[in-house]
């Protein structure tokens, strides 16, 4: 049985997907090559649909409301005439007025992507990967959760909490919310895809956080993430 170590770049503590996979990741450009390498390792080349949203699961459930920063006061956030309509300049740490609406749109987008994957695979979407990552700029910008202000373990647990909230949401509402309906009003896929959560550090090392339903033969053993220096590029 494969086992995982702290220094293993790619975990093998879950059964490999048999058919198609939907991958949800952050938009962060620094880790795209590492993500593709991870998916290749899982033999998923040409077998996955890829959805990217800032912060991965950040805005997809109500979990973010526990970390909601203070609302912006009028004198803290003003429209910037030099930027496109609707752009604001943040004078002080605060969340934009429309954050709740924005996250609601992200959620609808993700749900639509899941439905599309179910339809396009003709009901053979066996797995969903939810890939959080270290030093996420979306968490810094929207939630004021700055990687450099947190311990490695706190950062890992924060991402685990958000991704688990999405897993719980899909578990609770797959049939009613996420599943697609065909032209005969029949659900496209009876069985809910397996749900995997991962955490990638800035060197591309992947920690397997959870799988639901659990693989009987491969118990999950979360390894401690190792903090790595930030890559000098734009964070998303």
Residues forming contacts to Zn ion in the complex (CB under 5 A) are 26, 28, 136, 138
Measured CA to CA, the distance from residue 170 to residue 166 in angstroms comes to: 6
Helix ranges (H only) for the chain are: 32-41, 99-120, 137-143, 152-173
Shortest spacing between CB 18 and Zn ion, in angstroms: 29
Looking at beta carbons only, is 126 or 147 nearer to Zn ion?
147
What are the distances in angstroms from CA 168 to CA 24, 108, 162?
15, 17, 10
Shortest spacing between CB 235 and Zn ion, in angstroms: 7
Burial of residue 79, with CB atoms counted within 10 A of its CB: 0-12 exposed, 13-18 middle, 19 or more buried: exposed
Looking at beta carbons only, is 133 or 218 nearer to Zn ion?
133
CB-CB contact of 213 with 14 (8 Å): no
Looking at beta carbons only, is 72 or 138 nearer to Zn ion?
138
Looking at beta carbons only, is 33 or 122 nearer to Zn ion?
33
Shortest spacing between CB 168 and Zn ion, in angstroms: 21
Looking at beta carbons only, is 26 or 118 nearer to Zn ion?
26
Shortest spacing between CB 135 and Zn ion, in angstroms: 8
What are the distances in angstroms from CA 219 to CA 23, 71, 223?
22, 42, 12
Shortest spacing between CB 137 and Zn ion, in angstroms: 5
């Amino acid at each position: 049985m494969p086992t995982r170590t702290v220094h293993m770049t790619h975990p093998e503590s879950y059964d490999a997907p048999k058919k198609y996979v939907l991958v949800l990741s952050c938009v962060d450009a620094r880790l795209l090559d590492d993500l593709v390498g991870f998916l290749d390792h899982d033999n998923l080349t040409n077998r996955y649909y890829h959805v990217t949203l800032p912060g991965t699961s950040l805005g997809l459930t109500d979990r973010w409301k526990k970390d909601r920063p203070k609302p912006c006061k009028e004198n803290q956030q003003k429209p910037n005439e030099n930027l496109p309509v609707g752009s604001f300049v943040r004078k002080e740490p605060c969340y934009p007025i429309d954050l709740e609406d924005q996250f609601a749109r992200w959620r609808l987008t993700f749900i639509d992507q899941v439905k599309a994957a179910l339809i396009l695979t003709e009901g053979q979407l066996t797995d969903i990967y939810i890939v959080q990552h270290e030093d996420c700029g979306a968490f810094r910008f929207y939630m004021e959760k700055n990687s450099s202000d947190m311990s490695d373990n706190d950062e890992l647990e924060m991402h685990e909490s958000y991704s688990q909230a999405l897993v719980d949401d899909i578990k609770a509402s797959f049939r009613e919310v996420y599943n697609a309906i065909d032209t005969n009003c029949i659900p496209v896929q009876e069985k809910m895809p397996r749900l995997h959560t991962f955490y990638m550090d800035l060197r591309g090392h992947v920690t397997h956080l959870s799988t639901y339903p659990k693989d009987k033969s491969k118990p999950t053993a979360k390894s401690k993430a190792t903090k790595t220096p930030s890559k000098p590029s734009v964070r998303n």
